Amino acid sequence: MTTDPPRPYIRSLPPFFEQADAAGQRVLDRYLWIFQNLLGPAPDPSKPPPPITVQRRAMATVIDALPDLFYPRLSFLFPESDASLPPLTDPRDADSLQWSKVNALNDYFGIVLPQAGEDDEDAWKLAVTAAVNDWLTAQFAWQGAWFGYQGGVPRSVDDQRRNLASILPVFRERGTAAGLQKLLTILAVGSGPISSDATITVTDLTDGMPMTVGRTTKLRPAYPTRSEGPVLGGVRPYSFLITVEGVKSKSRPAAKTFLSRIVDQEKPAHTTYTIKMTS
């Protein structure tokens, strides 16, 4: 007769169901083991693990983690942390992910599975890290698409998470000067040609060059931008000024292009704007 201990689920049934037939087979036990293995599998301590293995999480555990995928904190990876946004990257190297978090993500979702005969652990770690990094980047890009976030310049995984977490509350102010100022501060300051100590303000720009026939009535190419051209009565409707302080002269053309790409995407279609930069 079998000497296997009763499975956890069968312990909840009357002792009759623990009885085995002459061959030592407990049919109900084996049947319930199917569901137990799906909902709560555990590694067999009597068998040594292979050189490379994926400790797949139980189906119930994966289902419980799914809601956390809709917010960039990914709380299921940090059960012991109280930080608002615990880092995924290695504290010693901001360009690389922590292997423990990479391994956990792979265990949850099976992003990369080992091939038969694969036993090079270093190569395995590199392959999993690259695949998980791509998976996270695609995940955050998908989340950003909900509210038109393009991601700007290439960033690390933690930068993407930080941007998404910061932009979510700002999205309620989209289409306003205050919302645009907060968005530009999140996406532009400390990124690309704009240093981390720069400041950005967005204000209404109502005063303009009065239109005088014969003096300021010129073709548009005579003016650098639409917002610098003459307007009737000297009042410019639906226009705003973006002031950036702390940008070096040599960085201003690239900074202006970078800001314009974000502003053109976020501003109301009927508005015009001017970008002013100071050192």
Question: Both 136 and 210 in a single domain?
Answer: no
Q: Do residues 185 and 163 both lie within one domain?
A: no
Is 1 a member of any domain? Answer: no
Distance of CA 23 to the CA centre of its chain: 55
Contact 72, 136 (CB under 8 A): no
Same domain, 140 and 208: no
* Boundary (domain end) residue, out of 146, 171, 196: 171
Weakest-pLDDT range from 63-77, 104-118, 174-188, 207-221: 207-221
Cα angle value 34/37/40 (rounded, 5°)? 140
Amino acid at 48: P
166 and 189 housed in the same domain: no
Looking at residue 77, its pLDDT comes to 92
Q: Which of 171, 190, 218 is the last residue of a domain?
A: 171
226 shares a domain with 157: no
- The boundaries of the domain holding residue 181 are 174-278
pLDDT at 1: 42
What's the sign of the alpha-carbon dihedral 62, 80, 55, 137?
A: positive
Assign 164 to helix, strand or coil: helix
Q: Does 70 lie in the same domain as 89?
A: yes
Distances (CA, A) of 211 to 114, 207, 230, 234, 270: 71, 12, 5, 7, 20
Average pLDDT over residues 265-271: 87
Which tens digit of pLDDT belongs to each residue from 89-120? Answer: 887 776 788 999 999 999 888 888 877 667 78
Number of domains forming the structure of the chain: 2
User: What is the predicted pLDDT for the residue at 51?
Assistant: 58
Q: Is the pLDDT of residue 6 over 60?
A: no
What pLDDT was estimated at residue 143? Answer: 87
* Residue-level pLDDT at 2: 47
Domain assignment of residue 155, yes or no: yes
- Choose one of 171, 192, 218: the last residue of a domain: 171
Q: What is the pLDDT of residue 130?
A: 92
153 plus 215 within the same structural domain: no
**SS3 state at 202:** strand
State pLDDT tens for residues 171-201: 888 888 899 999 899 888 887 788 888 999 9
Tens-digit pLDDT profile for residues 123-181 = 888 989 999 999 998 898 888 888 777 655 557 888 888 888 888 888 888 888 899 99
* Residues 196 and 167 both lie in one domain: no
pLDDT of residue 146: 82
Same domain for 269 and 185: yes
Please indicate, yes or no, whether residues 137 and 203 belong to a single structural domain of this protein: no
Does one domain contain both 229 and 194? yes
Q: What contacts 159, CB < 8 A, 6 or more positions away? A: none
**Residue 255 located in a structural domain:** yes
pLDDT, tens only, 25-60 = 676 766 777 777 677 655 555 556 555 667 778 788
Is-above-0.75 flag for pTM?
A: no
Indicate whether 183 and 167 sit together in one domain. no
